[in-house]
Structure 1
Amino acid sequence: MEHVLDNPIYYALTSGHSHIAKGLDEVRYYIEDITAFAGLKDNSQENLNTLYQISPTESLFVFFSKTPVEIPAQWKLLTHIDMFQFIFRGKEMPTVDATGITDLDLEHVAEMIDLVELTKPGPFLAKTINLSNYTGIFVDGKLAAMAGHRFYPSPYREVSAVCTHPDHLGKGYAFKILQEQIKRILLRSEIPFLHVRNDNEGAIKLYHKLGFEIRTDMIAYVIKKEA
């Protein structure tokens, strides 16, 4: 039987995030201005063709797969990203000094988008903040670091949009925010997980330090539906 984390986007869209999903039983995607991810029950040519047929013109999607996928000709493959999927295996609740951590809301979205554009942790749209629990650290009134939640294939909750402004690297901001994220997830009796490029050595080292372990390899495909 397939583990939900083998196909985290699809199982998020059929469980914890079913209320913000569009599509059919086996082919789903998030409401367009929330995020650009699609989840397929299996990454078959048939389901990719169905996604093409039911999605708006010029849609751009990201979908995940544990194994290489042949992209049908009607889609334009923009890129693929080799990743690790991490799951939290820590034995204790993090002890967090929450001083300086701010809950982010709609008034912060412009700054959040700017930070994401600068650091490239993954797509972040106007209403991505609706996926909840985004927190940040401000320095001199400017957003220096942030993280939040993304996929929710219940009972697993993904930590995402982990980024720090280049001017503030090495100050422990990411570690502090991630501890807070882990704590919030555990307090809801959920299990934290995340994804990271497999060549991001600094982030990989940080996640191990926080109590995460590599669960599996994962590939992110970025595809576009052209007019």
Structure 2
Amino acid sequence: MEHVLDNPIYYALTSGHRHISKGTDEVKYYVEDITAFAGLKDNSQENLNTLYHISPAESVFVFFSKTPVEISGPWKLLTHIDMFQFIFRGKEIPMADASEITELDLKHVNEMIDLVELTKPGPFLARTIELSNYTGIFVEEKLAAMAGHRFFPSPYREISAVCTHPDYLGKGYAFKILQEQIKRILLRLEIPFLHVRNDNEGAIKLYQKLGFEIRTDMIAYVIKKEV
């Protein structure tokens, strides 16, 4: 039987995020402006064709696969990203000082988008904040670091958009924010997981220090709908 984390987007869209999904029983995608991810029950050409026919014109989607997928018409492959999927295996709930951490809301969205554009942790759209629990650290009223939640294939909750402004690297801000994110997820009796490029050595070491372990390899495919 397939584990939900082998296909986290599809199972998020059929469980914890059913209310913000569109599509069919086997082909799902997030409501526009929330995030540009699609989840297929299996990554077959038939399901990719279905996604093409039910989605808006000029759509760009990201979908995940544990194994390589051949992308052909009517989709154009823009890029693919080799990643690790990490799951939290820590033995204790982090209880670090959270006094520097600010709850991010709609008034911060422009700053959040600017930070994501600068650091490229993954897609972040106008309504991505609706995925919940975005927190940040400000230095002299400037957003220095942030993270939040993304996929929710219940009972697993993904930590995402982990990024730090280049001017503030090495100050431990990401570590503090991640500790708070982990704590909140565990206190809800959920299990934290995340994805990271497999060549991002600094982030990998940070996640391992926090108690995450590699669960599997994962590939992110970015595809565009060709007219």
Give TM-score, length-normalised by structure 2. 1.00
Deviation at 1:72, TM superposition (A): 2.5
Query: Whole-Å Cα distance in 2 between the matches of residues 73 and 148 of structure 1?
Result: 34
Deviation at 1:95, TM superposition (A): 1.7
List structure 1 segments (4+ residues) > 2 angstroms apart after TM superposition: none
Contact 1:48/1:72 (8 A) holds in 2: no
Query: Whole-Å Cα distance in 1 between the matches of residues 96 and 25 of structure 2?
Result: 41
Q: Which residue of 2 aligns with 1:141?
A: 141
1:165 partnered with 2:165: yes
Query: Whole-Å Cα distance in 2 between the matches of residues 195 and 172 of structure 1?
Result: 20
For 1:96-124, what per-residue CA distance to the aligned partner results, in whole angstroms no more than 9, with x for missing partners? 20011000000000000000000000000
Deviation at 1:226, TM superposition (A): 2.1
Q: Give the match's secondary structure for 2:178.
A: helix
1:56 partnered with 2:52: no
Query: Whole-Å Cα distance in 2 between the matches of residues 96 and 174 of structure 1?
Result: 13
Q: Which residue of 2 aligns with 1:194?
A: 194
Q: Which residue of 2 aligns with 1:16?
A: 16
Query: Whole-Å Cα distance in 2 between the matches of residues 202 and 95 of structure 1?
Result: 23
Deviation at 1:60, TM superposition (A): 0.3
Q: Give the match's secondary structure for 1:115.
A: helix
CA RMSD of aligned residues (A): 0.4
Name the aligned partner's letter for residue 181 of structure 1: Q
For 1:25-75, what per-residue CA distance to the aligned partner results, in whole angstroms no more than 9, with x for missing partners? 000000010000000000000000000010000000000000000112110
Give TM-score, length-normalised by structure 1. 1.00
Name the aligned partner's letter for residue 135 of structure 1: T
Q: Which residue of 1 aligns with 2:116?
A: 116
Note the 1:40-55 alignment, pairs <5 A.
40-55=40-55
Number of positions where the alignment pairs a residue of Structure 1 with one of Structure 2: 227
Q: Give the match's secondary structure for 1:99.
A: coil
Query: Whole-Å Cα distance in 2 between the matches of residues 184 and 225 of structure 1?
Result: 37
Deviation at 1:225, TM superposition (A): 0.3
Q: Which residue of 2 aligns with 1:26?
A: 26
Q: Give the match's secondary structure for 1:126.
A: coil
Query: Whole-Å Cα distance in 2 between the matches of residues 52 and 126 of structure 1?
Result: 23
